[in-house]
Structure 1
Amino acid sequence: MAKFQSLKEAVAENIRDGDTVAFEGFTHLIPHAAAHEVIRQGIKDLTLIRMTPDIIYDQMIGMGLAKKVVFSYAGNPGVGLLRRMRDAIENNWPRAIETEEHSHAAMANAYEAGAAGLPCAIFRGYRGAGLKEVNPNIKSILCPFTGEELAAVPAHRPDVAVIHAQKASRRGDVLIEGIVGVQKEVVLASRRSVVTVEEIVEDFDDLHPNLCILPHWTVTSIVEVPGGAHPSYTHGYYDRDNAAYLEWDRISADRDLFMAWMRENVLDAGPEVFAHRVKGL
């Protein structure tokens, strides 16, 4: 049952050292504020799952919180490399990390399998692909009915899902508009969940019921964090801050500059900074 908390409380109660955590949001609704609170609390040895690791995982990796990343694409969207992730892989700075790479289709199917309580996902994919040679978790099986060769990967069953959304009702139902991605599946696949939202409203009586993506009994914690997806966008609230993504390429290229930026903008700042940033766009 959904519990309304501060961001500090929600992260402290739900995310622990050594957990497997999935921060999801595709193009928009990327939970930056929640990731920054994890960094402030110094929660470490995390296995991070995400379809498209971008700058939030670059920041968490650069701060030494990740021991493994399970992903299907890694990059600063529209800009280029994740320089902190690359530094960790190539130079073990600030620590070595493991990587497990999949396709988008595999990741989405793995979340859906986890949401359904299944041990693995079975789908058409990876034919002729080289990922099978470097990822032992990609298997091939034969359909018992047709004899067709299919791909299989383990289901994603994170300890914690972290997402951002537009609204939550006072009852704890969560509304998502625009690109939904795997927001629903990751919460249903996880043991616990933290959902940050732009605003909490009384109810959704004036909206189409299909917009309620997650009913209150599927969510562990809800936190109101206006601007909590910045610099990504939240459909209907604010646009993507393209300049911030471009600036991150410069900041993340230098270890000292990266650490200075993290101290000023994350370690010494709270979630309220996100609302101020959005207002300043």
Structure 2
Amino acid sequence: MPSKVMTLSRAISSHVCHDDAVVLGACLEACIPFAAAHELIRQQFRGLNLIAPISDMSTDMLIGAGCVGQVTGAWVGNVSGGLGHNYRRSVEQGVPHQVKVHDHSNFSLGMALTAGAYGIPFIPVRSLLGSDLLRSNSTFQVQEDEESATSYVRVPSLNPDVALLSVQRSDEEGNCHFWGNLGVLQEAALASKKIILITEELVDREVIESDPNRVPFPGFLVKAVCHVPAAVHPSPMTGFYKRDNDFFNQYHQQSRNREGFLEWLDDWVLNPANHEQYLDKLGTSRKDLKIKGILLSEPVNYASD
């Protein structure tokens, strides 16, 4: 098969459109492809529907940059600081414009993606019963099961246009390995119409074939493979990087007002023309975040004879 390797800039310009529904990271607090969020801002996308259970500050910065029309998620903010300031300004004040919010719990969002992956229109969920989410999300419908005389909530399926997903390693065809907290990575990949894969390491196919159980989804779903080391900064990646709490806290403080956020955006997203310049600006702090310890799993034997 031909190589799918391309630059992140080209992948996003080729496979993302205005108004698309986009999964931006799916592993909760880990492995959020911030480099892709920055590229969406640089290319001035508009009207995106961002889908994520917990996006940390990636969704918040995209809202502040004017890229977002809708948010489908459980929480938008900064795990190191609290609720996202741009998100709050948008919902409460319409700054820079009003975003429409499709409220979910972490679980219901995972179930919506599961339904999308299975190709079914909805999935029954009981955990939403009695919650305020039934008032804030009109797509949730309570149904009665006559046989069991119990109720459940119909959660409509989600089928994103594009999933932007970070993994530890991939080959040129999009066959990849992921380990650590999966979150809803598999569900998001299988539910989405196409995947842009952002990999820390680019390896030979034989490396992936050596451990098939670490492959989260088939490579034929992947449209582009982007080799972008440290694309997840400031979020953590199992085996590679720790969380950069200082960076998160700096963003949270500076984005408290609109002027401070725009200054931060210029300094960290717009003036670095690409991810390489972003890493140059980070300097030695990036090296300090690299995981130095070694904690290996036990080897397994795949032999059949």
Name the TM-score, length of structure 2 as normaliser. Answer: 0.87
Whether the 8 Å contact between 1:226 and 1:275 is mirrored in structure 2 is: no
SS of alignment partner, residue 213 of structure 1: coil
Whether the 8 Å contact between 2:72 and 2:103 is mirrored in structure 1 is: yes
Aligned-pair CA distance for 1:208:
2.9
Confirm whether residue 272 of structure 1 aligns to residue 280 of structure 2: no
Aligned-partner residue type, residue 214 of structure 1: F
The percent of aligned pairs where both chains have the same amino acid is 30
1:3 aligned residue: 4
Q: Which has the higher contact order (CA 8 A, sep 6+)?
A: 1
CA distance in 1, matches of 2:276, 2:137: 40
1:226 aligned residue: 229
1:93 aligned residue: 95
CA distance in 1, matches of 2:277, 2:134: 43
**2:220 pairs with 217, 220, 230, which one?**
217
1:189-209 CA distance string (max 9 Å, x none): 111111111010113258532
Confirm whether residue 15 of structure 1 aligns to residue 36 of structure 2: no
CA distance in 1, matches of 2:152, 2:135: 16
Confirm whether residue 247 of structure 1 aligns to residue 250 of structure 2: yes
Range with greater deviation from structure 2 (135-144 or 102-111): 135-144
SS of alignment partner, residue 109 of structure 1: helix
CA distance in 2, matches of 1:190, 1:127: 27
- For the structure 1 residues 206 and 162, does the alpha-carbon distance in structure 2 shift closer, same or farther, using more than 3 Å as the test? closer
Confirm whether residue 56 of structure 1 aligns to residue 55 of structure 2: no
Unaligned residue ranges in structure 1 (runs of 5+):
none
CA distance in 1, matches of 2:191, 2:258: 36
CA distance in 2, matches of 1:135, 1:225: 36
CA distance in 2, matches of 1:114, 1:166: 25
Q: How does 1:119-158 map to 2 (within 5 A)?
A: 119-143=121-145, 145-158=147-160
CA distance in 2, matches of 1:176, 1:145: 42
**1:200 pairs with 191, 199, 202, which one?**
202
- For the structure 1 residues 84 and 206, does the alpha-carbon distance in structure 2 shift closer, same or farther, using more than 3 Å as the test? same
- For the structure 1 residues 152 and 255, does the alpha-carbon distance in structure 2 shift closer, same or farther, using more than 3 Å as the test? same
Range with greater deviation from structure 2 (3-12 or 144-153): 144-153
Aligned-partner residue type, residue 102 of structure 2: E
Unaligned residue ranges in structure 2 (runs of 5+):
290-305
CA distance in 2, matches of 1:127, 1:237: 40
SS of alignment partner, residue 127 of structure 1: coil
- For the structure 1 residues 225 and 274, does the alpha-carbon distance in structure 2 shift closer, same or farther, using more than 3 Å as the test? farther
2:296 aligned residue: none
Aligned-pair CA distance for 1:110:
0.4
CA distance in 1, matches of 2:29, 2:264: 23
CA distance in 1, matches of 2:262, 2:125: 42
Aligned-pair CA distance for 1:105:
1.1
**1:43 pairs with 26, 45, 50, which one?**
45
1:131-180 CA distance string (max 9 Å, x none): 21221111112336433211111111111111111000233201111001
Aligned-partner residue type, residue 20 of structure 1: A
**How many residues align structurally?**
281
SS of alignment partner, residue 153 of structure 1: strand
Aligned-partner residue type, residue 242 of structure 1: N
Range with greater deviation from structure 2 (33-42 or 72-81): 72-81
Which structure has the larger Rg over C-alpha atoms? 2
1:64-117 CA distance string (max 9 Å, x none): 111111111222103212001101111111111111111111100001110111
